[in-house]
């Protein structure tokens, strides 16, 4: 079984460059789920799997009073988040963001420390979703809220994937030549999950709400969404080579890699306009830790 922290250490730069921009709009929309809580006084926020700091930094920029702690299994991703915070935030705002390496299912924080727990595109990666959600419940104060966005399982035919498969076949590149399996999403099946330790995409909005209830939360709600992103051909090649299929490309000899990249770019460029729009189903879920009972 592969560790997601180690994997993200290797692909951190590719993630920052090619995949974080695809997720940003839907990730940041997660903040809307807790806007009322912030207006009511929530101040301490935990961002699970902060990555390059997408959610954490957006929260700091949106709400002057909040402090955000980001955790991530990958030290390289934490480095990216800190560098991005240095670049984007004023010194005063920078002081409201801290980040550390940690796993979502073993949080290095005391009980009830946070008002809000947020997360974008991470709960599909944790080895045990229920353990991660129980940890989130533990570190929330009574009455605190969790909100997350992640992938909803489903068939998502995409011309970019079809072209990639065709080109691999045309060039006689078998995925076993170098492959260790698809990475973040989308085509992951049960075998991939067994191999890399992911808990996988949510099966339904109902499963998302049920999972939160099983972890001890109340008022669980989940809604489906659709992430849409128009790749340009070079951007999709970058996404494959430096992020999603980095293992495959990294394992090829130079001559094969160059040929694969060139053929891919040529074939993707020949697609009709609009064919490189990726459409993936998402789910946003939220719930509350029960308020403390009055004596």
Ligand X SMILES: C[S@@+](CC[C@H](N)C(=O)[O-])C[C@H]1O[C@@H](n2cnc3c(N)ncnc32)[C@H](O)[C@@H]1O
Residue 240 found at the interface with ligand X (CB under 6 A)? no
139 binds ligand X (CB under 6 A): no
Alpha helices in 156-290 (DSSP H): 159-170, 190-196, 205-214, 233-239, 246-250, 254-269
Concatenated DSSP letters of 236-266: HHHHIIIIITHHHHHTS-HHHHHHHHHHHHH
Question: Could you tell me the end-to-end alpha-carbon distance of the chain, in angstroms, rounded to an integer?
Answer: 48
Nearer to ligand X, 143 or 238 (CB): 238
Site mask for ligand X (CB under 6 A), range 6-25, x = bound: --x-----------x--x--
Between 127 and 143, name the residue whose CB sits nearer to ligand X: 127
Q: Does residue number 205 form part of the binding site for ligand X (CB under 6 A)?
A: no
Quick check: 54 binds ligand X (CB under 6 A)? yes
Decide: is 150 part of the binding site for ligand X (CB under 6 A): no
What single string gives the DSSP state of each residue in 68-120? Answer: EEEEES-HHHHHHHHHHHHHHS-HHHHTTEEEEE-BTTB-SS-TT-EEEEEEE
* Least Å from the CB of residue 106 to ligand X: 9
Q: Which is nearer to ligand X, 8 or 236 (CB)?
A: 8
Binding part of the chain for ligand X, among 117-125, 208-216, 226-234, 263-271 by CB under 6 A, reads: 117-125
Q: Kindly tell me which of 99 and 167 has the beta carbon lying closer to ligand X.
A: 99
Answer yes or no whether residue 126 interacts with ligand X by CB under 6 A: yes
CB of 104 to ligand X, least distance (A): 4
Cβ at position 190, least distance to ligand X in Å: 18
What separation in angstroms does the CA of 143 have from each of 37, 40, 140, 270, 285?
10, 12, 8, 54, 16
Residue from 184, 196, 245, 247 touching ligand X (CB under 6 A): that is 184
Neighbouring residues of 258: CB distance < 8 A, sequence distance ≥ 6: none
Exposed e or buried b per residue across 256-292, where buried means at least 16 C-beta atoms within 10 angstroms of its C-beta: bbeebbebbeebbeeeeeeebebebbbbbbbbbbeee
| Stretch binding ligand X (CB under 6 A), from 118-126, 150-158, 242-250, 274-282 | 118-126
Q: Which residues bind ligand X (CB under 6 A)?
A: 4-5, 8, 20, 23, 27, 49-52, 54-55, 72-74, 77, 103-104, 120-122, 125-126, 184
């Amino acid at each position: 079984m592969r560790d997601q922290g180690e994997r993200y250490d290797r692909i951190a730069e590719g993630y920052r460059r090619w995949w974080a921009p695809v997720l940003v709009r839907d990730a940041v929309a997660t903040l809307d789920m807790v806007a009322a809580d912030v207006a009511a006084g929530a101040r301490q926020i935990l961002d699970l799997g902060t990555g390059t700091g997408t959610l954490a930094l957006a929260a700091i920029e949106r709400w002057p009073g909040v402090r955000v702690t980001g955790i991530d299994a990958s030290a390289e991703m934490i480095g990216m988040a800190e560098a991005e915070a240095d670049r984007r935030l004023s010194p005063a705002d920078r002081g409201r963001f801290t980040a550390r390496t940690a796993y979502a299912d073993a949080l290095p924080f005391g009980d009830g420390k946070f008002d809000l727990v947020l997360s974008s595109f991470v709960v599909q990666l944790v080895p045990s979703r229920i353990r991660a959600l129980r940890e989130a419940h533990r570190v929330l104060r009574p009455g605190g809220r969790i909100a997350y966005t992640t992938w909803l399982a489903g068939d998502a035919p995409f011309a970019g994937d079809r072209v990639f498969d065709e080109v691999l076949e045309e060039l006689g590149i078998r995925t076993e030549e170098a492959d260790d399996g698809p990475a973040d999403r989308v085509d992951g099946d049960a075998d991939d999950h067994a191999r890399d330790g992911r808990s996988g995409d949510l099966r339904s909005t109902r499963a998302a709400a049920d999972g939160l209830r099983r972890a001890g939360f109340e008022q669980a709600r989940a809604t489906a969404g659709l992430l849409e992103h128009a790749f340009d051909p070079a951007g999709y090649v970058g996404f494959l080579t430096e992020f999603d299929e980095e293992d495959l490309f990294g394992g090829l000899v130079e001559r094969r890699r160059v040929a694969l990249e060139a053929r891919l770019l040529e074939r993707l460029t020949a697609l009709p306009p609009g064919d490189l729009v990726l459409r993936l189903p998402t789910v946003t879920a939220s719930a509350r830790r029960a308020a403390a009972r009055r004596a």
